[in-house]
Amino acid sequence: MLKHRVIPCLLLKEGGLVKTARFSDPVYVGDPINAIRIFNDKEVDELMVLDIEASRRGTEPDYGLIEQFAGECFMPLCYGGGIRTVEQAQRLFALGVEKVCIQSAGLADMSLIRRIADRFGSQSVLFSLDVKKGLLGGRAVHRRSGGRAESRSWRSVIDEAVRHGAGEIVLNAVDRDGTMKGMDTELIRQGSQGLPVPLVAVGGVGSLADIRKAVDAGASAVGVGAWFVFYGPHRAVLITYPRYDELVALLET
């Protein structure tokens, strides 16, 4: 049977690996190539690398760096950040990236997803959405790269991305990012309900039990940031990943 995937999510800023808390205060955690090598040795299910500055600054993906990542990854690699055209996606695929993750450019124009999916298949294009809880408890789209507020509901944006051919949806709970205090299972439940493609839930994992809860709420895959790069109360940098037998025991039945 197909396994639920557990995916380290690494954030890039100016070529270094960082980790944010609630999308702010990026802390430098090390050299990305070194981290990717360690994750490869630990046989992670998949790896997601997101450049958190590229779209905000309007820069291109760092192709040289990404090619090095792909050379170290003997598992699927997903890259996101600064992708605005089909040609950029094509260049990333040629370097050995399996999946591209679209956010800012998709919010502006969903047809980018359609054009990538038509050419390379839906399995190769993910749409990622950041969702934040408001003061009154309602959830709304959060725009990482700034710009005007989003008028559509977060769920309708996801559905639109799927209609345009997104093969997976990455759903980030902004309020949980970097907290390691558990995932927003209600968000996962609402996001996965009736969703015809896999949902990758991200934000808040701090234990194996959190991963199980996300899967029970409907996630096909769980993305993990802080918990795989920090250790102990003082947040020392230590790259970890559960053993395969631990994940099997956690996620079976």
Q: Site for other proteins (CB under 8 A): which residue of 10, 48, 95, 141?
A: 95
Does position 157 interact with other proteins (CB under 8 A)? The reply is: no
| 5 sits near other proteins (criterion: CB under 8 A) | yes
SS3 143: coil
Q: What is the pattern of x (binds other proteins, CB under 8 A) and - over residues 200-219?
A: --------------------
Question: Whose Cβ is closer to other proteins: residue 102's or residue 226's?
Answer: 102
The span from the CA of 103 to the CA of 109, in Å, is 10
**Running DSSP on this structure, what letter comes out for residue 3?**
P
Shortest distance, position 118 Cβ to other proteins, whole Å: 10
Question: Could you tell me which stretch among 28-36, 53-61, 70-78, 153-161 binds other proteins (CB under 8 A)?
Answer: 70-78
Dig out the tokens for 191 from the structure.
């996001």
CA distances from residue 51 to 54, 83, 233 in whole angstroms, order as listed: 6, 10, 27
Among 121, 186, 209, 238, binds other proteins (CB under 8 A): 121
User: Does an H or E element contain 212, and which?
Assistant: helix 208-216
Rounded to whole angstroms, how far apart are CA atoms 166 and 107? 13
- Nearer of residues 40 and 240 to other proteins, judged by Cβ: 40
Q: Is residue 98 a contact residue for other proteins (CB under 8 A)?
A: yes
Which one of 25, 41, 62, 130 is the catalytic residue?
130
Nearer to other proteins, 145 or 185 (CB): 185
Q: According to the binding rule CB under 8 A, does residue 223 interact with other proteins?
A: no
Integer Cα distance of 146 and 105 in angstroms? 12
* 43 makes contact with other proteins (CB under 8 A): yes
Q: Considering CB under 8 A, how many residues would be counted as binding other proteins? A: 32
What's the CA gap between 172 and 132, in Å, rounded?
Answer: 8
The token pair at 66 is: 């990404």
Residue 87, judged by CB atoms within 10 A of its CB (0-12, 13-18, 19+), counts as exposed
Among 33, 65, 75, 140, binds other proteins (CB under 8 A): 75
Task: Identify any residues that bridge with 9 across adjacent strands, giving them in sequence order.
Answer: 48
The Cα diameter of the chain in Å comes to: 47
Helix axes 154-163, 185-192, angle to 10 degrees: 40
Nearer to other proteins, 174 or 214 (CB): 214
Quick check: 120 binds other proteins (CB under 8 A)? yes
Q: Which helix (H) or strand (E) holds 191?
A: helix 185-192
130 tagged catalytic: yes
Question: Is residue 170 near other proteins by the rule CB under 8 A?
Answer: no
Q: Pick from 55, 88, 124, 172: which binds other proteins (CB under 8 A)?
A: 124
Residue with token string 């947040």: 235
Binding interface with other proteins (CB under 8 A): 1-5, 40, 43, 45-46, 67, 70-71, 73-76, 93-96, 98, 120-124, 167, 196-198, 220-221
